[in-house]
Amino acid sequence: MQNIDIDMKVKLIHGFSNKTRIQILECIKNQEKTVSQIVEEISGNQSNISQHLACLKGCGIIVGRNEGKYSYYSLRNQHIRDLLTMFDTVLGDVQNDVACCDRHID
C-alpha cells in the first residue's frame, strides 16, 4: 500500500469541508458548467464562487477548460464523483449522530 502523507490527506479533505464548495461540487457532479451557471444555480456571488473554484482546482478536485470567453468546470474524474456519492451513503448511516454532534468546530 502506498504511504500517504497525512498532511496531504488533510489538505484534500479540506477541499470538501465548506458548504459553498460542496454546493459547487454537487452542481457540477453530473455535467460541466460555467461560473455563471454555477453562480445562478447555487445563488452565490461570482467573486466568492470564483475563490472556491480556485481552491477546488488547486486541490485537484475539479478541472477547468476554456472555450472562447467561457471557463467550464467539472469534477476531475469518476473517483471524485464516487467520493461524493459515498459521502451521501455514509451520511445516511450516521446522520442522526451528526445532527446531535455538539463538538463540531467551524
pLDDT at 105: 63
Domain 6-97, CATH: 1.10.10.10
pLDDT tens digit sequence for 24-58: 999 999 999 999 999 999 999 999 999 999 999 99
Given a cut of 80, is residue 106 above it in pLDDT? no
In this prediction, residue 79 has a pLDDT band, given cuts at 50, 70 and 90, of very high
Contact between 1 and 10 under an 8 Å Cβ cutoff? The reply is no
Q: Which residues contact 72 (CB under 8 A, 6 or more apart)?
A: 32, 33, 34, 64, 65, 66
Q: What is the CA radius of gyration of the chain?
A: 15
> Can you give the pTM of this predicted structure?
0.88
Nearest Cα to Cα of residue 66 among 20, 34, 38:
34
% the chain with pLDDT above 90: 81
Task: Tell me how far the alpha carbon of residue 28 is from its chain's centroid.
Answer: 9
Section 62-89 average pLDDT? 96
Mean of pLDDT over the chain: 93
pLDDT of 71: 95
**How far is Cα 60 from Cα 102, in angstroms, rounded to an integer?**
31
Distance of alpha carbon 12 from alpha carbon 27, whole angstroms: 19
**C-alpha cell of 57?**
482546482
Backbone angles phi and psi of 67, in degrees to 5: -140, 110
pLDDT value at 3 more than 90: no
Take residue 86 and report the three cell numbers written for it: 459515498
The pLDDT confidence band at residue 84, using thresholds 50, 70 and 90, is very high
